[in-house]
C-alpha cells in the first residue's frame, strides 16, 4: 500500500512539474513609428510581452505572427495586448508559447516596420 501511495505521489509531482512551465517577460517599447527594440532572439518557451507606449500620442497595439504570414488570419491571438496601450502606459499580452522558428512583430496602429523575432 505504501508503494502504491508513493507511486501516485511521484506521478502527480512529475505531472505538476511538467505543467509548471516558467513564464518569461519581454518588455518592448514603442515611440512614434517604431519599436525601440529592433529585433529579438529568444529560446523556446512561454512568454508574456509587456508593451509600453512612449509618447506616441495615440493608442498602440502589438501583433506577433509567423514570418511571411502577417495577415490577420495568421496573427498569434494570445500575443495581442489585453487592451490597447494608451499614451505613456504599459499593457501585457496573455501567455504566448513560442516554438523554434521565425516570427515578426509590429504595430499596425502606430504603424511600425516588421521586426524579426527568432526562436532557437
Summarize pLDDT for 86-99 with one digit per residue, the tens. 999 999 999 999 99
Q: What is the pLDDT of residue 15?
A: 47
pLDDT of amino acid 10? 57
Cβ atoms of 62 and 51 closer than 8 Å? yes
By the 10 Å C-beta count (0-12 exposed, 13-18 middle, 19+ buried), 12 is classed as exposed
pLDDT at 37: 98
Evaluate the CA torsion angle 10, 13, 17, 19 in order and state its sign. Answer: positive
Rg (CA), the chain: 18
The grid coordinates listed for 8 are 501516485
DSSP-derived 3-state class of residue 13: helix
- The span from the CA of 18 to the CA of 86, in Å, is 37
Per-residue pLDDT, 13: 52
The confidence score (pLDDT) of residue 81 equals 98
Would the pLDDT of 6 be above 50? no
Query: Please, which pLDDT band fits residue 8 given cuts at 50, 70 and 90?
Result: low
What integer pLDDT is reported at residue 18 of this predicted model?
46
| pLDDT: which is higher, 4 or 46 | 46
What residues are paired with 67 via a beta bridge? none
Give residue-wise pLDDT tens across range 14-62: 545 445 579 999 999 999 999 999 999 999 999 999 999 999 999 999 9
Q: Which domains does the chain have, with CATH numbers?
A: 23-119 (2.60.40.420)
Amino acid at each position: 500500500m505504501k508503494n502504491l501511495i508513493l507511486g501516485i505521489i511521484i506521478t502527480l509531482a512529475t505531472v505538476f512539474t511538467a505543467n509548471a512551465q516558467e513564464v518569461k517577460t519581454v518588455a518592448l517599447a514603442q515611440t512614434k513609428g517604431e519599436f525601440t527594440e529592433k529585433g529579438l532572439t529568444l529560446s523556446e518557451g512561454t512568454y508574456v510581452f509587456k508593451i509600453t507606449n512612449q509618447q506616441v500620442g495615440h493608442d498602440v497595439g502589438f501583433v506577433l505572427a509567423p514570418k511571411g504570414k502577417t495577415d490577420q488570419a495568421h496573427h498569434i491571438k494570445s500575443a495581442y495586448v489585453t487592451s490597447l496601450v494608451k499614451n505613456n502606459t504599459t499593457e501585457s499580452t496573455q501567455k504566448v508559447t513560442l516554438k523554434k522558428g521565425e516570427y515578426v512583430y509590429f504595430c499596425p496602429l502606430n504603424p511600425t516596420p516588421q521586426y524579426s523575432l527568432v526562436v532557437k
